[in-house]
Structure 1
Amino acid sequence: MPELTLEALAARVAELERKLSTTTNGVVPPTRDWRSVVGMFDDSEFMAQVIAEGQAIREAQRKAAREGRDE
């Protein structure tokens, strides 16, 4: 392995930075995450209905599975 000089190290770091910048294509990850939306539908009557319907469907599927039949 050749001797690692400060200049060689600087060149390697510059090359890595160049490759990294082309790999990410300037994409910046979003700063928000899933926790920012928790509870956003708490006061929505429509969402309460959607959830109730979904739970009813899932319970019907569970019942059908327990009885050994497909729904």
Structure 2
Amino acid sequence: MSTTSLEQRVANLESQVSILLGGNGKPGRAKDWRRTLGMFTGDEIMWNICQNALAYREEDRRRTRDQNASEDSELP
């Protein structure tokens, strides 16, 4: 195996590892979840989405409680 092909293979592997680890080879600011705080403040559509999600979760909890209660009543 020639040295140049080994060097090329190592360079390719380093490039692939960099991509897999999230580096794109360009310097830049790291992603930070705090940048998204307040992004949807005052957004009526997002408020409706949240309200519907809460209603869905409450309905799911109610169904689960009802199902568990009926299963418990079937126990000897």
Q: In percent, how many aligned pairs have the same letter? A: 29
Deviations 1:7-53 (A, max 9, x none): xxxxxxxxxxx768533156257523111001100110110000000
Q: What's the Cα RMSD here?
A: 2.8
Identify unmatched segments of 5+ residues in structure 1: 1-17
Decide which structure has greater helix share.
Answer: 2
Structure-1 residue corresponding to 2:50: 51
TM-score (norm 1): 0.57
Q: Distance in 2 between matches of 1:43 and 1:62?
A: 28
TM-score (structure 2 length as normaliser): 0.54
Q: Which runs of 5+ in 2 are unaligned?
A: 1-9, 69-76
Aligned length: 53
